[in-house]
Structure 1
Amino acid sequence: MTRIVILGGGPGGYEAALVAASLGATVTVIDSDGIGGACVLTDCVPSKTLIATSETMTNFAMAPALGVRPHGDPGAETGSWELTSRPHLTPPEVVTVDPEQVNERVRTLARAQSADIERRLEREGVEVVHGTGRLVGPPDRLVGPHAVESSDGETFVSDVVLVATGASAREISGCEPDGERILTWRHLYELKEIPEHLVVVGSGVTGAEFASAYRALGAEVTLVSSRECVLPAEDPDAAQVIEDVFVRRGIQVLNRSRAASVHRIGDGVLVELTDGRTVTGSHALMAVGSVPRTTGLGLSEVGVRLGSGGHVVVDRMSRTSVPGMYAAGDCTGVLPLASVAAMQGRIAMWHALGEAVTPLRLGTVSSNIFTEPEIATVGVTQRMKDSGVIAAEVTTVPLMRNPRAKMMGIADGFVKLFCRPGSGSVLGGVIVAPRASELILSISLAVENGLTVDQVARTFSIYPSLSGSITEAARVLRPRDLFAGFETPA
């Protein structure tokens, strides 16, 4: 029977544990944060729960355009309550947010999810040890068994070790969080009030998501971006849509602006920019990335190779430089997504336990940014096409011409589809729309299974539906189709 020790109980760790247990291994998970890890307790699950509340506020703000007005609303007769003309999405006298109740719900759901996962592990026979662990043994150890020592002094001897310790928020000198006014995203769920004016430093995924959410919840928001646009690493057309929406909804976007320092000033904060300008607010959110949690684990001492940023170097089978030792999740720096961490963990266990396994394919990974609207992507990107890395044909179908979008009052967004010239194989796609995270699956299936635009174009879509724009895009890329480019009833 194979003995396996897993350091970290996040998606990479607990999914690996479930696979290993199902294959008959003896599994111990050593975790210091709570099963589910930061993903469940402080990051992904809490943030998306908060965003679910902000989406409700956005829906309230859009209601008048659909003919729905609160009783007694002064704009009912004048038609003045419009999304584009109010500094706040929803007037506080009509709909209010109870921040303490919102955050209590966030914390409760996170704790419940963590408890559910731990019970599942226990049912499958996985031993859960609460504490920290580190690798011990001679520096020249190149073969198992491996020894892992927990923080309470117990030593676990194992044939296989998986490191899945995740990452933590990056801190910048001069901008250190204090947990009260200068915050990381992990402090947000303890707030007793919605920030009056939130200054978000960082315009990547985390910064954009929280800027979008807190604006919908009623906060004034200033977004400080060191790059030329919001979401600089994303599809440029998608990023432009989000930035346009942000500006229209009253978010002040400061592009090409880098924070030099953040200080407390009474009941607020002062953000000093490198060009000498200053921004004041009630709170500052530092959303400047994360760093792998790999220090103090004894990795270098046993020969595990680390990258320049401190991440564990792995191959597509999740193997480290030491036989019998694997790594998964954000500590590897491969792609900071819970789905990728989980797949890395599963691949590691399948490989270690002799199962047939396919190496990790990042080209088929779908991802989503939970702004309003959302951005979902999979496969080939616009930058890859434009740089000549891959030959591709592309088309973009604006949502404003989609019948269902018109009925729902949706004006922002699009479906973009990439295919291989000649064969028409679907290579990737981008969707900017409400619940794009749900719509992207059909394109992901096409990419994963090598479907052609012809096959997608011939697939029935509901009429009317937002997903109809996916089949429309496929018809545009299939010029032989007599009805290419038209949204027709299915």
Structure 2
Amino acid sequence: MSFDYDLFVIGGGSGGVRAARVAAAEGVRVGLAEEYRMGGTCVIRGCVPKKLMVFASNYGEAADDAADYGWDTRPGHFDWLKFRKRLDAELERLEGVYRRLLDGSGVTVHDARATLKDAHTVSLSTGEEITAKHILIATGGRPALPGLPNEELGITSNEIFNLEKLPESILIVGGGYIASEFACILHGLGVKVTQYYRGAQILRGFDDEARGHISADMIRRGIDVQCGATVIEMERDGDRIRTKTATGEEAHFDQVMFATGRAPNTEGLGLEEIGVELGRKGEIVVDEYSQTAVPSIYAIGDVTDRLQLTPVAIREAMAFVETVFKGNPTAPDHELVPSAVFTRPEFGTIGLTEEQAREQGPIEVYETSFRPMHRAFIDRQDRIMMKLLVCADTRKVLGCHIVADQAGEMIQLIGIAVKMGATKEDFDRVVAVHPTMAEELVTMKTPTRTA
């Protein structure tokens, strides 16, 4: 059978674009459809604009620090519209980069929504039908709403970057990394922030001690973090939004933001109709090589709900090309993936939490908490935390957790050692770089506790 393309990719995010480019470089005839903007969640409404907002939110406190260090500074005001104009321009530039990369690779781009007609046929919103030997679904995910009456009064992480002005007050509903990051970002930009989370502690799934450290610091800085709080009602009240919790507490906010999880973008694609299996949350079920129940169809990235991280989607894309077009079956490696949470303080983590490590056998916990030099000098109360979890038998470092400024940068480097199987003694043999915060990682000689 003759096909229009050897590969057709649905989704122009980081994973889809990488797969298309790398496959095209192998001489594969590639088409790609994207219904919105090239770059996907990460570039357009996720990692990139969020990190730029993190940078912006840190300057207010940095100005106060500078004054205490002896600089003659003047109180300033954050100009949201000036920042947004520059942000929009940067995202437009990055989208252009993605398009040029595809064009330069020989990938044919279709600016249209694509759905599946059968195992080898894609229907575009333009009315065109396209056939392909292989189809790769890389449609990512979207913010999930809690199903609350009048929830349309609120916004999600999709809309936060497009506000015409910053609210004076905001309620953020959720306790995951997106909710907690934006609580810190908006607080840093001068917004009065309240965060409701239905659970006992924010950042579920991460190391318990690190979660507690971050939550306590957020509260100390002035963020009203309320755990065990669930919104059951919300309605417009003049220019504000009135909310009511399950315990009867009422409050008014200028804006409400939902960060209550993400859902895979599989709705309306025609997947189940042609035999592609979906999971409980609507995610595409794939095998270790990212292949679905329909042999010609593969899926990568957040739409599979394996590890929802951009670099992981890119790795899955590379493994897909190796498997399908290079004759080298390659399963993406989802073990020991470092990650960062851009709260204030920042959180970097790799490997097992202390709770997980305890379940696997005897461990040693090496831990330190202290006020870093640059903060103690101006009498700031910020404390950092560093923790290594070590297998008592093999001496391998099973996990590392850092709560500190630039923790994301540190965990990327430490991740190399942990991925290589470094032992505690390997860490001990490294000479410290002094004076730095990171030197503590190689100077903790005595276990804080064993389990």
For the criterion TM > 0.5, the same-fold answer is yes
Tell me, yes or no, if structure 1 residue 466 matches structure 2 residue 442: no
8 Å CA contact retained: 1:405, 1:466: no
Q: Equivalents in 2 of 1:379, 1:12: separation in Å?
A: 23
Deviates more, 1:264-273 or 1:151-160: 151-160
Tell me, yes or no, if structure 1 residue 446 matches structure 2 residue 446: no
Tell me, yes or no, if structure 1 residue 154 matches structure 2 residue 125: no
Unaligned runs of 5+ in 1: 72-93, 480-490
Tell me, yes or no, if structure 1 residue 101 matches structure 2 residue 73: no
Q: Equivalents in 1 of 2:395, 2:296: separation in Å?
A: 42
What's the secondary structure of 1:334's corresponding residue?
coil
Residue identity opposite 2:132 in structure 1: S
1:486 aligned residue: none
1:46 aligned residue: 49
Q: Compute the RMSD of aligned alpha carbons.
A: 2.2
Q: Equivalents in 1 of 2:407, 2:31: separation in Å?
A: 37
Tell me, yes or no, if structure 1 residue 18 matches structure 2 residue 21: yes
Aligned CA distance change for structure 1 residues 69 and 355 (closer, same or farther; 3 Å): farther
Tell me how far 1:273 sits from its aligned partner: 0.9
What's the secondary structure of 1:245's corresponding residue?
helix
8 Å CA contact retained: 2:366, 2:448: no
Summarize the alignment of residues 174-213 of structure 1 with structure 2, pairs less than 5 Å apart: 174-178=148-152, 182-213=154-185
User: What TM-score comes out, normalization by structure 1 length?
Assistant: 0.86
Tell me, yes or no, if structure 1 residue 55 matches structure 2 residue 58: yes
8 Å CA contact retained: 1:30, 1:130: yes
Tell me, yes or no, if structure 1 residue 8 matches structure 2 residue 11: yes
Aligned CA distance change for structure 1 residues 221 and 182 (closer, same or farther; 3 Å): same
Residue identity opposite 2:145 in structure 1: E
The count of residues paired between Structure 1 and Structure 2 equals 445
2:146 aligned residue: 172
Aligned CA distance change for structure 1 residues 375 and 173 (closer, same or farther; 3 Å): same
Residue identity opposite 1:428 in structure 2: G
What's the secondary structure of 2:440's corresponding residue?
helix
Q: Equivalents in 1 of 2:217, 2:297: separation in Å?
A: 46
Q: Equivalents in 1 of 2:329, 2:425: separation in Å?
A: 30
Tell me how far 1:184 sits from its aligned partner: 1.2
Q: Equivalents in 2 of 1:442, 1:407: separation in Å?
A: 27
Tell me how far 1:62 sits from its aligned partner: 3.1
1:483 aligned residue: none
Tell me, yes or no, if structure 1 residue 255 matches structure 2 residue 258: no
Q: Equivalents in 2 of 1:201, 1:439: separation in Å?
A: 30
What's the secondary structure of 1:55's corresponding residue?
helix
Deviation by residue 1:243-298 (Cα, 9 ceiling, x = unmatched)? 11121111112110111122221111111111211121111111111111101112
Deviates more, 1:453-462 or 1:303-312: 453-462
Tell me how far 1:357 sits from its aligned partner: 5.4
Q: Equivalents in 1 of 2:143, 2:117: separation in Å?
A: 27
Aligned sequence identity (%) = 29
Deviation by residue 1:406-454 (Cα, 9 ceiling, x = unmatched)? 5686732211112222332222211111111100022210122112222
Q: Equivalents in 2 of 1:424, 1:59: separation in Å?
A: 40
8 Å CA contact retained: 2:346, 2:407: yes
Deviation by residue 1:298-349 (Cα, 9 ceiling, x = unmatched)? 2112211100111001223212122132111111111211111211222112
8 Å CA contact retained: 1:324, 1:352: no
Tell me, yes or no, if structure 1 residue 319 matches structure 2 residue 291: yes
2:314 aligned residue: 342
User: What TM-score comes out, normalization by structure 2 length?
Assistant: 0.93
What's the secondary structure of 2:158's corresponding residue?
helix
Tell me, yes or no, if structure 1 residue 214 matches structure 2 residue 180: no
Aligned CA distance change for structure 1 residues 351 and 168 (closer, same or farther; 3 Å): same
Summarize the alignment of residues 365-404 of structure 1 with structure 2, pairs less than 5 Å apart: 365-386=337-358, 388-400=359-371
Tell me, yes or no, if structure 1 residue 120 matches structure 2 residue 123: no
Deviation by residue 1:29-66 (Cα, 9 ceiling, x = unmatched)? 11112111122111221111111100122322333443
Runs of 4+ residues over 6 Å off in structure 1:
none
Residue identity opposite 2:181 in structure 1: E
8 Å CA contact retained: 1:162, 1:326: yes
Tell me, yes or no, if structure 1 residue 129 matches structure 2 residue 110: yes
2:37 aligned residue: 34
Unaligned runs of 5+ in 2: none
Aligned CA distance change for structure 1 residues 300 and 390 (closer, same or farther; 3 Å): farther
Q: Equivalents in 1 of 2:208, 2:279: separation in Å?
A: 29
Summarize the alignment of residues 218-257 of structure 1 with structure 2, pairs less than 5 Å apart: 218-257=190-229
1:83 aligned residue: none
